[in-house]
Amino acid sequence: MADSEIIFKATKDSLILIMNEELSFDTIYNEIGKKLATAGKFFRGASLAVKYRGRKLSEEEIGIICELMTEKTEASVSSFEEDVASETIVSDKKENTAKEQEHAKQDKEMEDEHNIDSKTILNGREEEGITKFYRGTVRSGQLISFDGNVVILGDVNPGAEILASGNIIVMGCLRGTVHAGMYGNDKAIVASLNLQPVQLRIANIITRPPDEQVLKAPAVPEIAFVKDDMIYIERFLSQK
């Protein structure tokens, strides 16, 4: 976790807090405060069941973090416990397994199939950082939340939601709700082969399609980015 010492992940039933095992409590406290200062309003009025991984916490430290989360989010913390069923978190990457190598090959094949390079899409707007790849269709009711960039190798259906602290790239049709730069990063981008979101948000700026969308035919790859406190959408691949 060298690139991100504190990570929040939202699941259907809980909010997971992942901490580097080597961090001091003061650092953990300060980093949580910084993240919740910008993202806390999304939890306002909610009841949070929190699970934590990585660094061990004392009862006193748990109480202090609960108070901080309540203060920053205006939510109630219904529970705060160690996620003992989670996989062990390690700081250093292990050797690549055959499965990981196959996944990397599939990711490259997907990019080649659509004539897309994720580095080209970013076009210098944002550093690559940590990236989560999701293969398949994200369906209604599903939520993907990641502290980093998210690349969807498939479609995002209406009713699905993608949250990322970095960029969001959909190598398919984007018809759900997306929020890139969710901690206030207005340098983040959203890109898709077919951009038709129900709601698109970058940092604290929101855009929605008109009530009656003009049909776009054929669909073209587009990129959304922030400029002068507004979200702009333009093509990112030249037409053949």
Start-to-end Cα distance in the chain: 41
| CATH match of 6-82 with 1.10.3470 | no
Q: How far is CA 47 from the centre of its chain?
A: 21
Domain ranges of the chain: 6-82, 98-235
**For position 87, what pLDDT does the model report?**
42
| CATH match of 98-235 with 2.160.20.70 | yes
Mind listing the pLDDT tens digit for each residue in 12-69? 667 888 888 888 999 999 988 888 876 666 677 778 888 898 889 999 999 999 999 8
pTM (predicted TM-score): 0.53
Give the closest residue to 20 by CA, choosing from 91, 70, 73, 80: 91
β-pair type (199-202, 205-207)? antiparallel
